[in-house]
Structure 1
Amino acid sequence: MRWSPLARSECRTVLTSKGAWILAALVVLWGFRPTYAGWDAVGRNITIGYVQVGVSLFLPVGALLLSYQSLIGERTTGSIKFLLGLPLTRMQILFGKATGRFVGIGVAMVAATLLLAGIGLVEHGPFAPLRLLGTLAATLLLGCAMVSTGVFISTVTRRTVTAATGVIAYFLVTLFWSQIVTSVYTAVTGVPVDPYDAPPSGPLFLALRLTPDGAYNVLTNWILGVGNSAELFHIVYTKLAPGVGINAFVVEAAFDGGGPWYLHPALSLVVLLVWLAVPLVLARRVFTRGDAL
């Protein structure tokens, strides 16, 4: 594989930077949040819940910040001319960049997951190892999707400040995604949305899980067995508890019979794969057909 030296170089760039390990530390420090609701929801598997809590908040933006300069940085320094002079096609350059960044971020996420698993093992005792492995696989898929998005931003922009603006825009949109979706739904249908008693609308619930972090939460909640929702696991459990009212969208609380087929948690895999594939396809189209300089 002629692109493998480039991928190794990108991986070293990530792993020798402070950013990857700051990201891992933030996942551990924010993720380790013992709560009564979390323990009641999954028992000793709360250790796996710690991974979900830390990853869903920090990994999407962290992966973007560690990958959005992958090509724009080469342009601003002029080293893109050296890359283009290598015996590599533009597609191989793009693939090497994306693969190297993903592996570097993936190593940091594996380290964070193992550290959280060790802390949880000491604090709470044994947990379900297969569920931890499933959550780790979902975490790596989320990281891969976000690296793909970061490489896309780096490919289609010409200035570092523009690429950074794209990262900030992504963060703001996903941060307020629930409010955006409910506002658009109300404007289109005329039906007000009360998160305490959400309408049983398939399109509404589908839209809420179309962001990478939302799809990740749906998938890991399925692995943990707490319910079908883009919320964090302990929030889902609290929402489904008898006599408890909480501001959250959970399929089992809104629908009788589990909702329409397209809300099945397994389809969140499709959402993450789309976020992985589409940005890379678009980046390839731009990078191979446009002016790389």
Structure 2
Amino acid sequence: MALPRWFPIARNEASALLTAKGPWLLALLLVGWAYRPQYLAWDELGQNMTVAFLQSAGSVLLPLGVLLLSYRAIVEERDTGSLKFLLGLPVTRTDILVGKVVGRSVGLAVPVTVAAIVLGLLGAVRFGLFSPLLFLGVTLVTLLYVLTLVSVATAVSAVTTSTVRATALVFGGFYLLLTVFWQRLASGPVYGALTGSAADPYAAPADGLLFVLLRLTPERAYGVVTNWLLGVGNSGAGYSVVLTKLQPGTNVNAFVVDAAFGQTTAPAYLHEALGLVVLVAWCILPLALARYRFERGDLA
């Protein structure tokens, strides 16, 4: 059985990342960033607090690292002229796009998985055995998140004509607006423009529109799904914030469906499983648009 034409590209991309220092440095930083034992998490999750460390690893640092190691996948070769050489081989532009995404995803998935295993070992030694199925589930969702981030970064790389523009779009647009500041933007200007008033995170309205807006980005969708698996609450915020929000007599800056709707049944479209749909959509749609532009664009 013949291998797909994009396979050599994917193999080279994965090999380049796995032999570079950057991905392994990211894995080391993820372990240090995510290992955060907390009394409340221990009280609510017990030994499964170790699994929650994986969600912490997938917060601010993971998307930054994955985007940094992916956003030049194609635009750098366009700048150096090596993209034209690559197209001289028996491959199409779609093959290049697919090979870049698959290869970089594998090259980043391996160090991220190693970081997850190290976190699991540290937690098991310190806090006892946790649920292996839960650990596997959160790890797989984290790897899906990695694939989504690589897809977005590669899509931007394919449709931009310079590294400067790719940097501005990936970090100034996607990372800052849709990752770091999305809760403020979605609950403030965006929700305010649609309803006439911004939402207060300390007294969030029981409005399905608000919570749909909040979970439209990959980072928030990842939080929703992992919180669902951990059983801490329906929210895209970090698990420790959600646990604090749901404690009697406490209130923090977070939007949690359980707290907003109280005894009222939340709409079905706010079910946490739909966060997987959001992640898959972000994985596919940017690549589909990039493929359309990349197939028809000038390589100059």
Same fold (TM over 0.5): yes
Matched, 1:41 2:54: no
User: Which residue does 1:102 correspond to in 2?
Assistant: 105
CA contact (8 A) 2:5 2:91 kept: yes
CA contact (8 A) 2:60 2:180 kept: no
Question: Mapping of 1:54-93 within 5 angstroms?
Answer: 54-93=57-96
Q: 1:265 aligns with which of 262, 266, 272?
A: 272
Matched, 1:140 2:147: no
Q: 1:179 aligns with which of 160, 181, 184?
A: 184
CA contact (8 A) 1:181 1:208 kept: yes
- Aligned pair count reads 293
CA contact (8 A) 2:235 2:242 kept: yes
CA contact (8 A) 2:14 2:107 kept: yes
User: Which structure 1 segments of 5+ residues have no match?
Assistant: none
CA contact (8 A) 1:27 1:112 kept: yes
1:188 shift after superposition: 3.0
Separation in structure 2 between the aligned mates of residue 140 and residue 282 of structure 1, nearest angstrom: 23
Change (3 A) 1:280 1:122: same
Q: What is the letter of the counterpart of residue 176 of structure 1?
A: F
Separation in structure 2 between the aligned mates of residue 67 and residue 286 of structure 1, nearest angstrom: 19
Q: What is the letter of the counterpart of residue 215 of structure 1?
A: A
CA contact (8 A) 1:60 1:212 kept: no
Question: Mapping of 1:11-50 within 5 angstroms?
Answer: 11-50=14-53
User: Which residue does 1:131 correspond to in 2?
Assistant: 134
Q: What is the letter of the counterpart of residue 130 of structure 2?
A: F
1:190 shift after superposition: 2.4
% identical aligned pairs: 50
Q: 1:197 aligns with which of 179, 193, 203?
A: 203
SS at match of 1:120: helix
Runs of 4+ in 1 over 4 A off after TM superposition: none
Separation in structure 2 between the aligned mates of residue 60 and residue 51 of structure 1, nearest angstrom: 13
User: Which residue does 1:119 correspond to in 2?
Assistant: 122
Q: Which moved further from structure 2: 265-274 or 54-63? A: 54-63
User: Which structure 2 segments of 5+ residues have no match?
Assistant: none
1:61 shift after superposition: 2.1
Separation in structure 2 between the aligned mates of residue 41 and residue 177 of structure 1, nearest angstrom: 28
Separation in structure 1 between the aligned mates of residue 265 and residue 147 of structure 2, nearest angstrom: 30
Matched, 1:278 2:285: yes
CA contact (8 A) 1:199 1:254 kept: yes
1:17 shift after superposition: 2.0
Q: What is the letter of the counterpart of residue 276 of structure 1?
A: C
Question: Mapping of 1:215-230 within 5 angstroms?
Answer: 215-230=221-236
SS at match of 1:265: coil
The CA RMSD over aligned residues, in Å, is 1.2
Separation in structure 1 between the aligned mates of residue 265 and residue 291 of structure 2, nearest angstrom: 39
Separation in structure 2 between the aligned mates of residue 82 and residue 138 of structure 1, nearest angstrom: 36
User: Which residue does 2:260 correspond to in 1?
Assistant: 254
SS at match of 1:67: coil
Name the TM-score, length of structure 2 as normaliser: 0.95
User: Which residue does 1:153 correspond to in 2?
Assistant: 156
SS at match of 2:298: coil
Matched, 1:213 2:213: no
Separation in structure 2 between the aligned mates of residue 188 and residue 206 of structure 1, nearest angstrom: 13
Separation in structure 2 between the aligned mates of residue 40 and residue 258 of structure 1, nearest angstrom: 27
Q: Which moved further from structure 2: 108-117 or 172-181? A: 172-181
Separation in structure 2 between the aligned mates of residue 271 and residue 220 of structure 1, nearest angstrom: 13
Q: What is the letter of the counterpart of residue 66 of structure 2?
A: A
Name the TM-score, length of structure 1 as normaliser: 0.97
Q: What is the letter of the counterpart of residue 184 of structure 2?
A: Q
Q: Which moved further from structure 2: 94-103 or 22-31? A: 22-31
CA contact (8 A) 2:33 2:57 kept: yes
